[in-house]
């Protein structure tokens, strides 16, 4: 009997641990509210409707090849600018005053819409 109780406790602990292990929707240290406001003010002009060939936010098929590059590359490309097959992504979306943290938060916001 004692063994059974221990076993149940152990299983519960494992289940709890597994629950904690779920990937959070946003990376730690990235502020989702900041991402949304930067996106709305600075990135949506192109990415909302696909202006200039920009992959549209929420359109998973248009983000497929970009996502394969991995989030770190996408962040670097958004900060430094990037010319791909679709068109030209200006450095920081053309808004030089944006900080790395702001651009990073906006990229997370966009990527979370297609993951």
**Footprint on this chain of ligand HEC (rule: CB under 6 A):** 38, 42-43, 45-47, 51-55, 66, 69, 73-74, 77-78, 82, 84-90, 92-94, 98, 103, 106-107
Asked if residues 103 and 68 have their Cβ atoms less than 8 Å apart, the reply is: no
Residue 55 Cβ, how far from ligand HEC at the closest point, in Å? 6
Q: Which is nearer to ligand HEC, 12 or 52 (CB)?
A: 52
Tokens of 35: 């991402």
58: number of Cβ within 10 Å: 12
In the complex with ligand HEC, the residue whose CB is nearer, 21 or 85, is 85
Measured CA distances, 104 to 1, 4, 12 (Å): 54, 49, 37
27 or 51: CB nearest ligand HEC:
51
């Amino acid at each position: 009997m004692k063994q059974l109780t221990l076993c149940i406790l152990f299983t519960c602990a494992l289940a709890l641990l597994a629950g904690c292990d779920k990937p959070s929707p946003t990376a730690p240290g990235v502020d989702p509210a900041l991402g949304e406001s930067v996106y709305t003010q600075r990135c949506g002009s192109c990415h909302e409707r696909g202006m200039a060939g920009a992959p549209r936010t929420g359109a998973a098929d248009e983000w497929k090849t970009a996502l394969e590059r991995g989030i770190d590359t996408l962040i670097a490309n958004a900060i430094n600018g990037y010319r791909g097959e679709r068109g030209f992504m200006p450095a920081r979306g053309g808004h030089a005053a944006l900080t790395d943290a702001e651009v990073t938060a906006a990229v997370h916001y966009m990527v979370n819409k297609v993951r």
